[in-house]
Structure 1
């Protein structure tokens, strides 16, 4: 994901897809979500950066890879229009790859009353020109900004708000859960010779990709998208927060397939590119379920989910649910149970007792 995001930023805004009447650039945004240290979020970024910085060192300076999203105006400032003699290179070449290693701080800034950051981020993902309501003179025409954030699961759940979901800020990010799966105490990374060889190939591919105009679909790729990918990614049966977080999955899979194709040195999306993009989107959706599957926006359903998890394999009986929600009606408890069962991982089963079996709610993962 780091590699695709950075490559899309480097390629620039000329290559694009038309989805309906909307022009979609090669911008892929992601939140890599994993534990501190063992999540290896920074390692993933440095691995992609090492190869691409060797290929295109001029891009990987402060002009194009700034850090710190303080405000909407601050982001516009990096790529603002400026035709003065002292103008920075970013005033003309408006490609940015912004890596924010403490995205929880950015989310806190965006939640402040009056913050322009969420609105500016939404415009930037769309590839629209940016402007400030506070400073009329602060404008950025045709920016090309890719953003990649690092955050821990605990911070992510604590910071997320339903209003931010509904506003569409965070469904522009692909959630990518990451963790260390091997312990390699003696790792020294790739050899300089290998990095140089890879960089030479990437330099050619990305230079050629930047000259492409509209990206096309092969007949097989378009048939796969229409018949299988679009119906699968448009399914919002998970409901609630999960559906909101993955609301842009269908158009996003086309963006990812486009970047895969361009990085494969072609201007045509093949069936293989579409399948690869589909698997990445499936992983992003699975990450959202894993991270937010017990978060519904309804505090009572969240309370019930927490109690069912705590009950372990024994499950939670109807009597225990009644005691959990004192003074509630049976209809209200039935509603809460029904909404919980709509979430991934929760089930109703029969539990054997000394007499008649009893029905319990359980979490099966």
Structure 2
């Protein structure tokens, strides 16, 4: 899907106006703008009926220096700064990688604003431009994924410390992060995705859209409609709802999403489980930027174009990760190497030459075992001082390789010599059975133990 299909309302106009002054991917700039603007609307704008937040969490996935992830965030921040700059300056954090730190951050923001005229304000925004580090640290915290999921859902999160019990009834959290494809495959585990943590994010593959000359001076102008929309949202609580036509269109899209998930492997479809709700959240954010509470079909379609782009990004990311993991280099079997070495040396080679040519592929024991299972190669022992050691050669036509001699364990019937059998009698080995020595040391230990026990009992 192209950016033109996603561009809608003042937010889309602000992104389009910023594009001449950035090298970033326009879809990446839109993704960052959606996260920043929806975070600023936290607690001000929500969905009718459910009361769920409209926060849009996005992740830009691109190669370092080629994806333009930082450029996208800078462009979105510069375009929105005149409208929501104070919120971004005061409520943006990074480095959050544990459940307790997440709860504490939102809890303290609420407590610090309880006595203000506007009342408690727990809005917050996490921006991780190097998300791999927090992801690595988050592995040691069992509650981080759980609290993150609850925060996206707008459900109660809590943390008990030595001095207080911190509770946030309605988390108001925005989230935006950057990661490379390699780090995505390394740190975003399938179990977390199946558990629902990362299907709350909208991953977006990005790349540079162009290169600007060194002399270029970027200029980002205020979008007055966005400024007015933010003031409109802060004036009083706004409840968003879909028009009847938009609701019917969303029903169609939800059916398409379910159908796509059914024909997609679970390792990919688990990232799409909340795509239908993501469409509503993106559409509600785009509509709130218009100072409207009725979500139209056009807003739904623009949101669907963005979410569909994210779904395609996930398919590519996970498919490439699975391909890199499951692709196994075709290794030639050891017998084929043995035949190649013998052919190189004219059909016969000493054990030393064979091992030298095979290198680290096997050792002397492995070579002997492999040849023992081959029908066209045999091992021949040397005939004395003139031809010491073992040689390996191809079996001549009409010959068969000698069967390997079975080595029986010591004391087995194969090691015994039996005399002539008599009628009605069983053959008895001539060698006497070895005598079994009694375990005298163990008897001593057995006699000492009771004495120590008695001594301890007397002390007690």
TM-score normalised by the chain length of structure 2 = 0.59
Q: Distance in 1 between matches of 2:144 and 2:110?
A: 25
Q: Contact 1:260 / 1:273 at 8 angstroms: preserved in 2?
A: yes
Q: How big is the shift at 1:33?
A: 0.6
**Aligned residue in 2 for 1:51:** 79
Q: How big is the shift at 1:262?
A: 0.8
Structure 2 gaps, min length 5: 1-30, 334-460
**Aligned residue in 2 for 1:16:** 46
Query: Structure 1 residues 187 and 270 mapped into 2: Cα distance closer, same or farther (>3 Å)?
Result: farther
Matched, 1:179 2:207: yes
Q: Contact 1:14 / 1:213 at 8 angstroms: preserved in 2?
A: yes
1:121-178 per-position Cα deviation (integer Å, ceiling 9, x unaligned): 0111011232015565122232210111110001110112121112111111001111
**Aligned residue in 2 for 1:129:** 156
Q: Distance in 1 between matches of 2:301 and 2:110?
A: 44
Q: Contact 1:76 / 1:130 at 8 angstroms: preserved in 2?
A: yes
Query: Structure 1 residues 302 and 45 mapped into 2: Cα distance closer, same or farther (>3 Å)?
Result: closer
Q: Contact 1:246 / 1:285 at 8 angstroms: preserved in 2?
A: yes
Which of 269, 275, 278 in structure 2 is aligned with 1:252?
Answer: 278
Q: How big is the shift at 1:189?
A: 5.2
Q: Distance in 2 between matches of 1:153 and 1:77?
A: 31
- Which SS does the other structure have where 1:23 is aligned? coil
1:345-364 per-position Cα deviation (integer Å, ceiling 9, x unaligned): xxxxxxxxxxxxxxxxxxxx
Matched, 1:233 2:233: no
**Aligned residue in 1 for 2:402:** none
Structure 1 gaps, min length 5: 311-319, 324-365
Which of 31, 36, 49 in structure 1 is aligned with 2:64?
Answer: 36
Aligned residues: 298
Q: Contact 1:33 / 1:151 at 8 angstroms: preserved in 2?
A: yes
Query: Structure 1 residues 187 and 23 mapped into 2: Cα distance closer, same or farther (>3 Å)?
Result: farther
**Aligned residue in 1 for 2:139:** 111
> Alpha carbon RMSD of aligned pairs, Å?
2.8
Q: Contact 2:113 / 2:120 at 8 angstroms: preserved in 1?
A: no
Q: Which moved more, 1:70-79 or 1:271-280?
A: 70-79
Q: How big is the shift at 1:218?
A: 1.9
Q: How big is the shift at 1:24?
A: 2.1
Query: Structure 1 residues 8 and 84 mapped into 2: Cα distance closer, same or farther (>3 Å)?
Result: closer
Q: How big is the shift at 1:243?
A: 0.4
Query: Structure 1 residues 294 and 55 mapped into 2: Cα distance closer, same or farther (>3 Å)?
Result: closer
Q: Contact 2:46 / 2:239 at 8 angstroms: preserved in 1?
A: yes
Q: Distance in 1 between matches of 2:299 and 2:215?
A: 31
Q: Distance in 1 between matches of 2:297 and 2:123?
A: 29
Matched, 1:273 2:303: no
Q: Distance in 1 between matches of 2:184 and 2:115?
A: 35
Matched, 1:68 2:98: no
Query: Structure 1 residues 280 and 87 mapped into 2: Cα distance closer, same or farther (>3 Å)?
Result: same
**Aligned residue in 2 for 1:138:** 166
Q: Distance in 2 between matches of 1:17 and 1:33?
A: 29
**Aligned residue in 1 for 2:269:** 243
Larger radius of gyration: 2
- Which SS does the other structure have where 2:177 is aligned? strand
**Aligned residue in 1 for 2:36:** 6
1:192-220 per-position Cα deviation (integer Å, ceiling 9, x unaligned): xx513x2x332111121343532121222
TM-score normalised by the chain length of structure 1 = 0.74
- Deviation >4 Å, runs of 4+: 81-91, 133-136, 301-304, 320-323
Q: Distance in 2 between matches of 1:88 and 1:181?
A: 47
Q: Contact 2:157 / 2:171 at 8 angstroms: preserved in 1?
A: yes
